[in-house]
A = this chain, B = another copy of it.
Amino acid sequence: MAELDELDQALLRELQRDARRTNRELAAATGVSPSTSLERVRSLRERGVIRGYRLDLDFAKIGRPVQALIALRVHPPKRQVIEAFREWVALLPETVGVFVVTGGEDFLVHVAVPDNDALYAFVIDRLTQRPEVADVRTSVVFEHIRPRVIAPAKRNA
């Protein structure tokens, strides 16, 4: 885990609200000079705390208003089978996220599609096509909330 002082945390808070804020704005918001905030943000990126800067797209506005989470198991649940399925499903155009999990299922596949027909087709034509796929259970997603700011864990000092 990376060391994060108050300034690092403040910069992360600001950038989570809007990842395109200028360095000068960041400096003003955190009360340091632009060169300091620039150096800190660069360090956060080099240390891998910041993995990148992503677009937040409205799936409905790009023609994919129907979202679902598809829980499934693969058979047999061996490493090779799991990894092959993971690579395959992550590259499908409908897929917007893949959780590899323990418990009742092996995968939760998050998809966004144009309509219910496309969802049904995805499940019965694409997924069920794969021989290793078993126990498919589809849940339609009504809403997906993502907190705007995620804080670092308190340190055990």
The complex places the Cα of A18 from the Cα of B51 at a distance, in Å, of 10
Which of B60, B62, B104, B145 is A137 in contact with, Cβ under 8 Å? B104
Which of B53, B91, B143 is A55 in contact with, Cβ under 8 Å? B53
- A49 CB within 8 Å of chain B: yes
Judged by DSSP, the binding face of A is mixed
- A30 CB within 8 Å of chain B: no
CB contacts under 8 Å to B, within A82-127, are 86, 90-91, 93, 95-105, 108, 112-114
Q: Interface extent on A, as a size class?
A: 35 or more
The complex places the Cα of A113 from the Cα of B18 at a distance, in Å, of 24
Which of B69, B146, B147 is A108 in contact with, Cβ under 8 Å? B69
Report B-chain residues with C-beta under 8 Å of the C-beta of A147.
90-91, 95-97
- A42 CB within 8 Å of chain B: no
The complex places the Cα of A91 from the Cα of B137 at a distance, in Å, of 28
Q: List 7 A-B contacts (CB under 8 A).
A: A1-B60, A19-B20, A20-B20, A47-B61, A49-B62, A100-B141, A108-B139
